[in-house]
Structure 1
Amino acid sequence: MRVPAKPDDIIEIYADESSQNKHRYLALGAIVVSMLDTPDLIEAIKKARLPELPQGEAKWAKVSKAKLAAYKRMVDVVFDNQDKWHFHSLFVDTTRQNHKKYNNGDSEIGFNKELYQLANKIGQLYSKAYFHIYPDYRDTKSSPEELRQILCHGARKRGDTRDWPVRRCQFRDSKNTIPLQVADILIGAIAYQLNGHDKAADANPAKVDLAKYIMKRAGIANITNGTKREANFSVWPRKLRK
């Protein structure tokens, strides 16, 4: 019988994606936080939103000049507490994806593989933890339970001795899940720069400002180069097979 994981051994992963359609680069990212620290993270972000964002969903698509200060304070919560809360991400060049050859012609399978890669990387970085994974809700034929089982079987094949390291995988609605909102903002900034939107003639000045601010706080000079794999704020340029 599976032994229940202790609360202080459980890490929560709040995963989101950006630019899945119509853009060259697909980016996925996740806020990673100990389950015991999640309430503190939520309260800190709620305070950081005030007074410009007292209610409603905070997300990259809604970044504006009037609310820019609040968005910067929200990401500051993560950067100022990297002993507790981390962010991990990856991006892929969709022009190099070969869905016909590797994904049975289904782009959704390709997307699920990238979510698997991100979760698998996090599972290896936190090698003694157990995980609750909360992807942002999306309309898909695949169930989160399938991802949970695939991740656990993959860990076992690698020789991982943890008993079913992923204990929970459930969709969450970002409208009601604050860590997902922060993940959306961070991954939105990464995709914004990767896809060159910050260089467009009609670029949103507030988004350009926020993207630069996030990269500066992360210590990233060129987003296309990525970061060290184990960095508390990590960006992984995934190389795909032809």
Structure 2
Amino acid sequence: MNIGNDLKLSDLMKIKTPFCFLDETGLLNSERDRFFSIGMIKCPRPYEMLTEIEKIRHRQNYTEEAKWQKVLPYNLPIYKMILDVFFSRAKADPEIKYCMMIVDKKGGYFKKHYNNDPFQAYEDFSIQLLKGNVSQNEILSVIADESPVPNKSQYENNVKVAINEAFGRLAIHGICKVDSKGNDLLQVVDLLIGAITYDLKVHHKLAGQSKSFRINCKKDLLEFIKNKIGADKFTRDVRVENFNIKLFS
């Protein structure tokens, strides 16, 4: 069966239709944003995690957006609860994955391939990340966080066309950009890419040099994520079960 080229109603039960939740950090050009990162959660039944997270929000009476940049003592325990929903589900289901790519914008790879253009890197890395996570008989739906791309950007169409042409079939049926405030799984991705990129920033002394409440909370949440993934550091490639993090320098 060649899904997408010759799609029949009889193939319905053989087709998998997972969702991918995509977010990025570091698109803006600044010293603070030396690293461009893009991360993705892939899962077959997002409503299961979303329902659990909604229950946590209700119990904790927490309505704010979960964001790495907003971690503080009062929301740190809630962030851990929300992340634990994802880690528990990922541990039980190998089809739930987290993948991430990071590029050092001061490194040779970025300058050679993207001529210091983070927006082109965003599009290309989206294609690479999604292309590497399309399995046989799968058609992906992509939910991406809104990002500050140029007004004339054809990001959604370019990514979709590139991947479908690469596979010679319908591999991605569509990409929709939404405000992460309304989607808890995009917020989980934000926490993960924020923490993992933060570890690189600390390593290069671009962050984490003070002892403020916020810095301590970030370090606490970073250690929590390291323990859950089973990685001692994120300053190098990490591949552990459902987690794949790739660095380009």
Q: Same fold (TM over 0.5)?
A: yes
Q: Secondary structure at the match of 2:221?
A: helix
Q: Give the match for residue 20 of structure 2.
A: 13
> 1:81/1:107 Cα in 2 relative to 1: closer, same or farther (>3 Å)?
closer
What whole-Å deviation, never above 9, does each CA across 1:141-192 have from its counterpart, x for those lacking one?
A: 2231221011111223xxxxxx211111111210111110111111111011
Q: Give the match for residue 179 of structure 1.
A: 185
Q: Give the match for residue 134 of structure 1.
A: 143
Q: Give the match for residue 51 of structure 2.
A: 43
State which of 167, 176, 185 in structure 2 corresponds to 1:170. 176
Q: Which moved more, 1:191-200 or 1:13-22?
A: 191-200
> In the TM superposition, what is the alpha-carbon distance from 1:208 to its structure 2 partner?
0.8
- For 1:132 and 1:116, the matched residues in 2 are separated by 13
> In the TM superposition, what is the alpha-carbon distance from 1:225 to its structure 2 partner?
2.1
Q: Which moved more, 1:57-66 or 1:212-221?
A: 57-66
> In the TM superposition, what is the alpha-carbon distance from 1:89 to its structure 2 partner?
1.0
The total of aligned residue pairs comes to 228
Q: Give the match for residue 62 of structure 1.
A: 70
- For 1:101 and 1:222, the matched residues in 2 are separated by 27
Is the 8 Å Cα contact of residues 109 and 248 (structure 2) preserved in structure 1?
no
Letter in 2 for 1:200: Q
Q: Give the match for residue 153 of structure 1.
A: 165
Q: Which runs of 5 or more structure 1 residues have no equivalent in the other structure?
A: 157-162
- For 2:208 and 2:81, the matched residues in 1 are separated by 24
> 1:72/1:50 Cα in 2 relative to 1: closer, same or farther (>3 Å)?
farther
Q: Secondary structure at the match of 1:45?
A: helix
State which of 91, 115, 129 in structure 2 corresponds to 1:118. 129
1:237 aligns with 2:244: no
Q: Give the match for residue 80 of structure 1.
A: 88
Is the 8 Å Cα contact of residues 49 and 71 (structure 1) preserved in structure 2?
no
Q: Give the match for residue 200 of structure 1.
A: 209
Q: Secondary structure at the match of 1:170?
A: strand
Q: Secondary structure at the match of 1:91?
A: strand
Letter in 2 for 1:60: W
> 1:202/1:18 Cα in 2 relative to 1: closer, same or farther (>3 Å)?
farther
Q: Secondary structure at the match of 1:10?
A: coil
> In the TM superposition, what is the alpha-carbon distance from 1:129 to its structure 2 partner?
1.5
> 1:186/1:155 Cα in 2 relative to 1: closer, same or farther (>3 Å)?
same
- Name the Cα RMSD after superposition: 2.4
Q: TM-score, normalised on structure 2?
A: 0.82
> 1:40/1:218 Cα in 2 relative to 1: closer, same or farther (>3 Å)?
same
Is the 8 Å Cα contact of residues 56 and 82 (structure 2) preserved in structure 1?
yes
- For 1:206 and 1:100, the matched residues in 2 are separated by 34
Is the 8 Å Cα contact of residues 145 and 170 (structure 1) preserved in structure 2?
no
State which of 221, 236, 241 in structure 2 corresponds to 1:225. 236
> In the TM superposition, what is the alpha-carbon distance from 1:51 to its structure 2 partner?
4.2
Q: Give the match for residue 159 of structure 1.
A: none
- For 2:208 and 2:114, the matched residues in 1 are separated by 33
Is the 8 Å Cα contact of residues 100 and 245 (structure 2) preserved in structure 1?
yes
- For 2:41 and 2:192, the matched residues in 1 are separated by 9
- For 1:238 and 1:153, the matched residues in 2 are separated by 25
Q: Which runs of 5 or more structure 2 residues have no equivalent in the other structure?
A: none
> In the TM superposition, what is the alpha-carbon distance from 1:56 to its structure 2 partner?
2.4
> 1:173/1:9 Cα in 2 relative to 1: closer, same or farther (>3 Å)?
same
Is the 8 Å Cα contact of residues 52 and 66 (structure 1) preserved in structure 2?
no
Q: Which moved more, 1:193-202 or 1:9-18?
A: 193-202
Identity %: 23
